[in-house]
Amino acid sequence: MTKHPSENKPPICCRSAALLLTLILVLCATNRWLSLEEGIRIENAVDTNYYMSIAESAPSLPPADAQLSFHHAQRFVLPYIVGTVAFYSHLSPQQVFRVAAIVLVVLNTCVAYRILGYLCIPWPYRTLCISLLILHPYMFRLYLAIPALAVDLMFTFGLSLLVYGLLQGRLGTAVIAALIATLGKQTSLFALPVTAIWILFGPSWGKYSLVRRIGSLLLIAAVCAVCYLATASVAKGFSQESIGAFALLTGLPRWVLSGFNAGLLANFLFRGIFPFLFPLCIGCAVLSRTRPPLPIEFYLLIAMVLACCLQPLLGGPITTGPDVLRLNLLAYAPLLAALGLLLREAKLPGYSESLMVVCGSLIAIGSLHPRFTYNGSASKGETGMSLMGTHESSPAVQFICLYCLSAFLLGVLIYLSARPAKE
């Protein structure tokens, strides 16, 4: 008897493990591993000095005269753990930071894939979304190259886990996730309003009474507040006053009123949108061909993305500056989950293997950042051109053009193949 073709395919769990392992190996094999000094010189990653200072002081906290920046000092948990492990294992903090970064990359990937699986995203779209995550030129590459910045990955892991808990309606998962995210970065506080709306109106929480839902959101808010106050209290002992929350949240309007520059604003907004180009091009391509009814989870995921992007955008070109790209990217996993829902509800015909290979090739090409991979020189360089009011090196301009072109071509490809499936 002739076997059905599907009987010859490996189980989904095996294919999933093979896919994730392959993509992570490709990521690690093509990534450039910078030293601490190179990271500071090439990427101006001065934040690493604060985190390394905490790690090098472990198992004690930095002295009172360390005078670290307060908002960096408040993220002391991961650097302190790294430093303590380094102290007792006789390894360097840089080595332990690198191991921590790799572990966090794996954890972020696994949670993101579990989210896509829970949402029942079909295998081709799930493969597309997870490839966009792992092979993103900034999402993981930056932290593998400069591992002392891994506190960002701690936050994204907590945020992804929070989304997973909210989707499932599991309070325990949501509480643990909120704690991890808050220990990573203060940005978790901006996600609280969306978390509250999700618990009150999300379908997965409808099985609970209103009193229990209110109690759940109050518990999550209390965990975030206590964690924030506790870390702030500890950080005050070895930090100096920061510019303050008011200045961080009003940088954009104050700059618009005092020193507005259209070119600088365009550059700032472009940097903020740039890391989302692939999902945006794919989403626009699908929506332009079919407008499916979308579940409430889609809008909640988009709201989570916007909430996390709010703080860096409000900081404006002067306060946030070029860091807007890295800070906005903290919300990338929820955006990919929303993209997966859109692709699922569009009910598009199954993609051929040749089409998936072309899509994967475009994503891989867009992944080759000239400073984080072996695609170019690990230097910003001096020669270049002015791009929307700021100087960019020639490799950077070439990469920007290549990345934009790859995202556009992928969007066109999805558009041409995005015909609604026949009933």
The pLDDT of residue 11 is: 55
Rounded CA separation 306/312 (Å): 11
pLDDT tens readout for residues 111-141:
999 999 999 998 888 989 999 999 999 999 9
For residue 386, give the 3-state DSSP assignment.
strand
Rounded CA separation 359/371 (Å): 23
Contact predicate 53/83, CB 8 Å: no
Q: Which conformational region is residue 389 in: left (phi greater than 0), alpha (psi within -120 to 50 degrees), or beta?
A: left
Does any domain span residue 4?
no
Contact predicate 366/407, CB 8 Å: yes
Does any domain span residue 422?
no
Rounded CA separation 193/200 (Å): 11
Does any domain span residue 81?
yes
User: Which residues span the domain enclosing 86?
Assistant: 10-417
Cβ neighbours of residue 182 closer than 8 Å, sequence gap 6 or more: 158, 188, 189, 223, 224, 227, 228, 231
Does any domain span residue 259?
yes
Return the structure tokens found at 206: 């409808």
- Tens place of pLDDT per residue across the chain (423 aa): 334 333 344 455 777 788 888 888 989 888 988 887 787 777 777 888 899 999 999 999 999 888 888 888 999 999 999 999 999 999 999 999 999 999 999 999 999 999 999 999 988 889 899 999 999 999 999 999 999 999 999 999 999 999 999 999 999 999 999 999 999 998 899 999 999 999 999 999 999 999 999 999 999 999 999 999 999 999 999 988 766 666 777 888 888 888 888 888 998 999 999 999 999 999 999 998 888 899 999 999 999 999 999 989 998 898 888 889 999 999 999 999 999 999 999 887 666 667 778 888 899 888 988 888 876 655 555 555 555 445 566 777 888 999 999 999 999 988 888 665 444
Rounded CA separation 401/277 (Å): 12
Does any domain span residue 42?
yes
For residue 45, give the 3-state DSSP assignment.
coil
Model pTM greater than 0.75?
yes
| Amino acid (1-letter code) at residue 314 | L
Does any domain span residue 1?
no
For residue 384, give the 3-state DSSP assignment.
strand
Does any domain span residue 3?
no
Contact predicate 150/101, CB 8 Å: yes
Does any domain span residue 390?
yes
Q: How many domains is the chain built from? A: 1
Residues comprising the chain, all counted: 423
Candidates 112, 202, 193, 199; CA nearest to 159 is: 112
The pLDDT of residue 2 is: 38
Torsion angle in degrees (nearest 10) through CA of 113, 118, 119, 121: 50
Rounded CA separation 34/61 (Å): 27
Residue for token digits 């601490």? 36
